[in-house]
Structure 1
Amino acid sequence: MKKLFSDEDLIKNLSLYYLNRHLKKKPIEKYHRTIDASMLHDRDKYKKKSEILLLNSFMHHFPEITFENLTCESPDFIATFNNKKIGIELTEVINHLEMKKAESTLNKIFRQAEILLEQEDKGKYRGIYFVEFHSHFNFENLEEQQENILSIYKSIRKNKPSGCVKSLRKSHHRRNVFITHEYNMSLFDELCSAKIVELIEKKNEKFPYYDRSVDECWLVIVSDMNSLASRYTFIQDKEHLSAVKSPFHKIFHLENLCGGLTNIK
């Protein structure tokens, strides 16, 4: 069963599109329009748009690649590369599973603060706000959530940290009010190679059910560096990846912030 994203996660990924100065914007915009014009349900459209954004850095490594089917399943996309029909299966590796649920809760808090600002004056507050919290901040406490939402709202309104907000910075966004967690990462935050191997083994089991009309099927494993749950600074025991066995023709690990690509197979 495919991993389901919350609506908040999907909207955040789409909004982060405007943050990345290195996006191949013309093809991305074209692909998004194609997805919008499809018969997919709105939620599935968000999911497909989010997935193609994760592959943007991948397209920098393969500039000749063109996507011809954006709405298929098993694999997620069908593309053309070097006169071959390539199936691309995309999967995200979660580095901090315990953070996934917490991050979804945090995104809901951000969305409520965004709504308050948009209702007051969307044009005035349009932008991307990076918020860092005090160490005592508890976003999982239901009794404190409304107070935390108001603290974020007041901090942005006054352009000055208030309540649970420790620091705040703003970046340009030409469309919406968008709040996200400040990018802060430990220098010793490893991603265990065993998590990547486990994902490959799970995908290997599904390989016989993928579209057989393609010439090759590639597996792209992404660490979404815009997600607190997926961030890492180095892959632990990276040499273990070279021993991986798989029916996929090519396997890559991609970190989507700087575009670092590891060729596993």
Structure 2
Amino acid sequence: MKKLFSEEDLVKNLSLYYLNQHLKKKPMEKYHRAIDASPLHDREKYKKKAEILLLNSFMHHFPEVTFENLTCESPDFIAKFNDKKIGIELTEVINHLEMKKVESCLNKIFRQAEILLEHEDTTKYRGVYFLSFHTHLKFDTAEQQKEIISDIYKSIKKNKVFGCVKTIRKSSHRRNVFITHEYNMNLFDELCSEKILELIEKKNEKFPYYDRSVDECWLVIVSDMNSLASRYTFIQDREHLKEVESPFHKIFHLENLCGNITSIK
């Protein structure tokens, strides 16, 4: 049976984290090996690996935390901290819901362009390519998507923008071809504190169903800054976060690019 996610796919997914210089490679590799050795389905293994990556910046703030159970469900992870058994529930806050579908389509397009380039000559084209696009980009039909793939392929092959590609920037990568979005932030791209509070409220409702064997349960809310749908520049009305009521023992908001963390409770 063909695996849904290959090792090469995982390497591509990790590339941005390696470039950010935040990845604690040795413990991360250990945790990924533990997930691989579990009886989880390949799709669930991939999901867990992506989740533990989002916690990488969290581990910089809490280096004493060691994970004991990486494959549980409610909460997502069980760890040890200061001789306590800690349940860690991880959730991502989406800042731009309208971008979620767009980003999903683009990621599929990126993967098709990567396959084309790797089949032609992986050694010649390997690297991390950061792309931005003209605003008129449309991919409602298979033909439109095929045209975008072709424009990306030609831009990387010729090392200059072509068609719908507005800018292209390359960083080195020793193994594969990896295509992602250029990291451009809007100066006034706020994340409304209400979105964080609504997310906490939803998690509060599920709290009674979490593992009762833990001494404490922490909620870690992540803004995945490598995602168009999740990124932000500042939290609007941050003071409202002090009003939160929750059965979680601790609540944090974390952004995974620079590793900034806010203690909400």
Gaps of 5+ in 2: none
User: What is the Cα deviation at residue 16 of structure 1?
Assistant: 2.7
Percent identity at matched positions? 81
> Which residue pairs with 1:53 in the alignment?
53
Asked whether the equivalents of residues 223 and 254 of structure 1 are also in contact (C-alpha less than 8 Å), the reply is yes
> Which residue pairs with 1:3 in the alignment?
none
> Which residue pairs with 2:212 in the alignment?
212
TM-score, with normalisation over the residues of structure 2? 0.94
Q: Does 2:176 align with 1:176?
A: yes
> Which residue pairs with 1:152 in the alignment?
152
> Which residue pairs with 2:41 in the alignment?
41
> Which residue pairs with 1:85 in the alignment?
85
Asked whether the equivalents of residues 102 and 140 of structure 1 are also in contact (C-alpha less than 8 Å), the reply is no
User: What is the Cα deviation at residue 139 of structure 1?
Assistant: 3.4
How far apart, CA to CA, are the structure 1 residues paired with 2:49 and 2:124? 28
Measured against aligned partners, the alpha-carbon deviations of 1:74-121 in whole angstroms (never above 9, x if no partner) come to 000000111111000000000000110110001111111001001101
Moved over 6 A (4+): none
How far apart, CA to CA, are the structure 1 residues paired with 2:17 and 2:129? 14
Matches within 5 A, 1:228-239: 228-239=228-239
TM-score, with normalisation over the residues of structure 1? 0.94
Q: Which amino acid aligns with 2:205?
A: E
Coordinate RMSD, CA, aligned: 1.5
How far apart, CA to CA, are the structure 2 residues paired with 1:152 and 1:209? 46
Asked whether the equivalents of residues 14 and 49 of structure 1 are also in contact (C-alpha less than 8 Å), the reply is no
User: What is the Cα deviation at residue 13 of structure 1?
Assistant: 4.1
How far apart, CA to CA, are the structure 1 residues paired with 2:135 and 2:242? 40
> Which residue pairs with 1:222 in the alignment?
222
How far apart, CA to CA, are the structure 2 residues paired with 1:136 and 1:210? 45
Asked whether the equivalents of residues 18 and 173 of structure 1 are also in contact (C-alpha less than 8 Å), the reply is no
How far apart, CA to CA, are the structure 2 residues paired with 1:142 and 1:233? 34
Gaps of 5+ in 1: 1-5
> Which residue pairs with 1:188 in the alignment?
188
